[in-house]
C-alpha cells in the first residue's frame, strides 16, 4: 500500500464527508493505493456514524473509535500502530489542511529520501492569540532541539512507515513529533510550505490550556532530550554532589569534635551547630535523588507495554 492517511478528530461531523471526498479525489487522480484512518477521539456528535457510513461506501476508509477522549497524541499513537502504507500522512479533520499537498509530500519521502516532512503554514488564518504563542514555542523548540523547523505543530506531516513504527507519541507530545523522531535517529527531517485554510465548520477544540500544556511539554522535551534515556546521569549526578557536600560537612564537624576531645576542651553539641543540619539534609536529598535516578533507569528499561489506550469500536481495521 502506498499511503496511509491518519486523521485524529473530535466532533468534526460536518467536515468529514467533504474531507473524505477531497482525499479520495487526490488519491484517485494520482493512482495511489491508500487507506484513510479516521481516529474518533471520543466525539459526542455524529462523527462516528458518518465514519461508519463512509466506510460502507469506500473500503479504504477505516475508523477507530476511542473509548473516551484521550487527546490528539493518543489518537495518533493508535493510528500509527495501525497504519500500513509506505508513507503515512497526518492531517487535521477541520479542512484547514489541504489534501492537495499529499502528492508532493509523498514525493519528498519516497524520491528525496526524507524520514519526515513537516508542513509549514507560512500564511495562517488564525487569530493573533493563537499565532503569537505558536511562534514563541516554535522559536524555543528550535533552540532546545537544534532542529531548524518553522512550524513544529503543523498537523499536516508525512512520514516513512519506519518512523511511525519506531516512535512513541504520548501525553501532549504531538506538538514535538519531529523532535521525538530525531531522538530515535531519524536525522533527515525536512519542511514544506503548505496551504492553510480558515476553519469552515465548527469551532477550534483548543483553549488557553494548550499554551500552558505546551510550555510544560517544552520543559519535558528539554529534559528528555538531555536525560530521557539515562535518568541516572541527571539525578545520580546531582544526588552524588549533594551527598558529597553533606558528607564533607559531617567529616569537618567530626574532625572538630575529635580535636576538642584530644585537647580535652569542652566540645559543643553537634545538634547545636547549624551546619550539622545542613549536612544531614544534603545527604538525605542526595540519597533520594540517587534513588530517583536508579528507579528511573529501571522504569525506562522495563517499560514495554505500548497498548495503553482503550478502543471501543473499529471499522475496516484489523483488531489486535
Residues 110-138 pLDDT 10s: 999 999 999 998 887 666 666 777 788 88
Quick check: 304 pLDDT over 50? no
**Residues 26-82 pLDDT 10s:** 999 999 999 999 999 999 999 999 999 999 999 999 999 999 998 899 999 999 999
Report the C-alpha gap between 229 and 3 in whole angstroms. Answer: 32
CATH of 3-227 given 3.30.70.20, 3.90.550.10, 3.90.1520.10, 3.90.1150.10: 3.90.550.10
The Cα–Cα gap between 240 and 244 comes to: 6
CA-wise closest residue to 39 among 2, 67, 3, 1: 67
Tell which phi-psi region holds residue 192, choosing left (phi > 0), alpha (psi between -120 and 50) or beta: beta
Helix ranges (DSSP H) in 58-114: 72-82, 102-110
* Pairwise CA distance, residues 99 & 34, whole Å: 13
Whether 183 has a pLDDT exceeding 80, the answer reads yes
In terms of pLDDT, which residue wins out, 215 or 151?
Answer: 151
Neighbours of 51 (CB within 10 A): 28
Q: What grid cell was written down for 102?
A: 499529499
pLDDT surpassing 70 at residue 301: no
Cα separation, 241 vs 179, in Å, equals 31
Proportion of the chain above pLDDT 90, given as a percent: 50
State the DSSP H helix or E strand holding residue 129, giving kind and residue range, or none if neither.
helix 128-145
CA distance 255 to 106: 72
Q: Which three cell numbers stand for residue 100?
A: 492537495
Confidence of residue 266 (pLDDT cuts 50, 70, 90): confident
**What is the predicted pLDDT for the residue at 11?**
92
pLDDT above 60 (res 99): yes
Strands 87-90 and 3-9 turn out to be parallel
Q: Please give the pLDDT value at position 122.
A: 84
Q: What are phi and psi of 21, to 5 degrees?
A: -60, -40
Residue 91 above 90 pLDDT? yes
What does pLDDT average to over the chain? 86
Q: Where are the domains of the chain?
A: 3-227, 231-302
pLDDT of 306 > 50? The answer is no
The burial class, CB within 10 Å (0-12 / 13-18 / 19+), for 302 is exposed
Provide φ and ψ at 165, rounded to 5°.
Answer: -85, -10
Q: Global pTM?
A: 0.74
Residue 227 has what pLDDT? 67
Amino acid at each position: 500500500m502506498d499511503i496511509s492517511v491518519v486523521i485524529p478528530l473530535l466532533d468534526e461531523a460536518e467536515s468529514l464527508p467533504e474531507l473524505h471526498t477531497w482525499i479520495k479525489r487526490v488519491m484517485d487522480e494520482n493512482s495511489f493505493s491508500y487507506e484513510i484512518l479516521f481516529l474518533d477521539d471520543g466525539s459526542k456528535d455524529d462523527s462516528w456514524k458518518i465514519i461508519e457510513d463512509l466506510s460502507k461506501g469506500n473500503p479504504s476508509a477505516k475508523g477507530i473509535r476511542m473509548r473516551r477522549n484521550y487527546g490528539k497524541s493518543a489518537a495518533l499513537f493508535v493510528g500509527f500502530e495501525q497504519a500500513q502504507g509506505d508513507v503515512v500522512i497526518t492531517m487535521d479533520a477541520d479542512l484547514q489542511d489541504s489534501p492537495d499537498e499529499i502528492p508532493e509530500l509523498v514525493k519528498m519521502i519516497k524520491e528525496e529520501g526524507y524520514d519526515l516532512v513537516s508542513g509549514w503554514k507560512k500564511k495562517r488564518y488564525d487569530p493573533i492569540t493563537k499565532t503569537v504563542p505558536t511562534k514563541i514555542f516554535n522559536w524555543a523548540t528550535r533552540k532546545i532541539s537544534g532542529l531548524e523547523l518553522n512550524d513544529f505543530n503543523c498537523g499536516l506531516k508525512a512520514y516513512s512507515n519506519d518512523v511511525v513504527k519506531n516512535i512513541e507519541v504520548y501525553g501532549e507530545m504531538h506538538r514535538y513529533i519531529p523532535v521525538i523522531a530525531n531522538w530515535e535517529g531519524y536525522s533527515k527531517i525536512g519542511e514544506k510550505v503548505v496551504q492553510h485554510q480558515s476553519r469552515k465548520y465548527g469551532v477550534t477544540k483548543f483553549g488557553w490550556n494548550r499554551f500552558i500544556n505546551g510550555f510544560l511539554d517544552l520543559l519535558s522535551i528539554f529534559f528528555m532530550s538531555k536525560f530521557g534515556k539515562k535518568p541516572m546521569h541527571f539525578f545520580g549526578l546531582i544526588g552524588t554532589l549533594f551527598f558529597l557536600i553533606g558528607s564533607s560537612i559531617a567529616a569537618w564537624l567530626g574532625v572538630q569534635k575529635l580535636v576538642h576531645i584530644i585537647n580535652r576542651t569542652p566540645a559543643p553539641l553537634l545538634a547545636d551547630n547549624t551546619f550539622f543540619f545542613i549536612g544531614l539534609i544534603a545527604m538525605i536529598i542526595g540519597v533520594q535523588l540517587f534513588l530517583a535516578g536508579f528507579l528511573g533507569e529501571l522504569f525506562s528499561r522495563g517499560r514495554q507495554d505500548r497498548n495503553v489506550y482503550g478502543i471501543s469500536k473499529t471499522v475496516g481495521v484489523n483488531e489486535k
